[in-house]
Structures are given as C-alpha cells and as structure tokens.
Amino acid sequence: MADSDQAAELKRRAAHAAVDRIESGMTVGLGTGSTAVHAIREIGRRMREGALRNVVGIPTSRAAERAALEADIPLMTLAERPIIDVTIDGADEFDPRFNVIKGMGGALLWEKIVAQVTRQWIIVADAGKRVTRLGTRSPLPVEVVRFGWTSQRAHLESLGARAELRHDEEGHPYLTDEGHYIIHCSFDEGILDPHALAQRLRSRAGIVEHGMFLGMASEIVIGAPSGIEVLRRA
C-alpha cells in the first residue's frame, strides 16, 4: 500500500472509531476536510442500516453540508439545535496539551462556532499530525475581512509570521463561506505562546478568527499503523 493510501486508510479507521461515540437521538457537529468526510459517510451508513436513529447534523461548512446530504443525514441549524452533543472534526496539528490548529480546509470560523457549543468535541487525525509545539508542521490560518486586508498581513508579520494570502485553484484570493480572506502564517520556531498570540489576534480589528483551538478537544482519536490510539482530556 502506498504511503498516501495508508494515511487515508488510517484516517478512515480513526474516523469510524470516533463515530462509535455517537448515539441515537444526538445532535452531531459535522466537521470539514478529508478525515471528517469519512465520519460523515460512516454516520450515514449506520443510519441507513438502522444502527443509528434520529441523528441530526450541524455542518461546519458548505462542503460538509454537501457531504451530509449525499450521506442522507438530516440537517438542522444552530438556531434549531443550539447545543451539540458530539462534533467530529479533523486537525492540521495537535499538541500534548490538546491544543489544535485547524482551518487548512478554509472553514475555521464555522468550525470554531460549532466547537464552542459542543459538549464533546472529538478530533480525528493520523499520527503525523502530532507535534510538540503548534505551528511546526502546519501554518496558522487567520481569517480576515477583505477591507484593508493588507494591514492585517502587515500586523501578522510584525508578530513574527511569514504571512501569505491564500489563493484558490484559479489563482484568485480564496473566499471562506462567509466571504472573508484567509492568511496563512508560518513561524520559524513554531508558536511559542499560543494563548498570548490568540489574545493579540482577538484584539485586532479586521481579524475575524484564527485557527488555534486551544484546550477545546475532549478527545483525540489517532489512526496509527499499530492501531487506534485514543487520548482523553483528564
């Protein structure tokens, strides 16, 4: 099996293990990205076969919404279901303190809105996403309003980042589901103090949200060649 095929299979197994946390009658947050799609498809399969009943989904992006509809998962909005029982999502990185970087799929704002109203936020990842310090493997996505976006890039560079505007496949600035831009921030030594950086980003007008999800995960399900590893927050 090629390395890429093996990684995909490990993510699939981990996603299916995370779906075991879902019970009939739950409201479930549906994450964005290749790992989350495995979970969405598995939820749909179990619903069709009767193993899960009366489950409704809250998608974290238009892409997750499309995947859920293809899997025949009934959808609702946060206005209808303001509290979510379980959300299953992927990660670009995670560290030993259950801090996570997300957003390379371009949905970090909706993902964080869903995560903060979720009782049990479960991250699914392959072992290669594990890092000792955030920002050493993945850039940090930062969502910004389009007006004056270059001033946000300059501000991010003043914080020590190499800041690059994300573009789509046609070379145009990438637009999030809310119509914002995303700036990818790379740090030579990683993010030394995630909480301090998060505070500085929150205080800046024009920055909508960042991709650090700090201390929000209740469980991390890791797909490794040796099997499924589950980390639970104490």
Between strands 181-186 and 219-224, the pairing is unpaired
Among residues 42, 111, 209, 219, the one annotated as catalytic is: 111
Beta strands in 41-193 (DSSP E): 56-59, 84-89, 93-94, 100-101, 118-126, 140-144, 162-165, 181-186
Phi, psi of 164 (to 5 degrees): -130, 135
Beta strands in the chain (DSSP E): 27-30, 56-59, 84-89, 93-94, 100-101, 118-126, 140-144, 162-165, 181-186, 207-210, 212-213, 219-224, 227-232
Q: Tell me if residue 189 is catalytic.
A: no
CB atoms under 10 Å from CB of 34, counted, come to 13
**Residues annotated as catalytic (active site), given as ranges:** 111
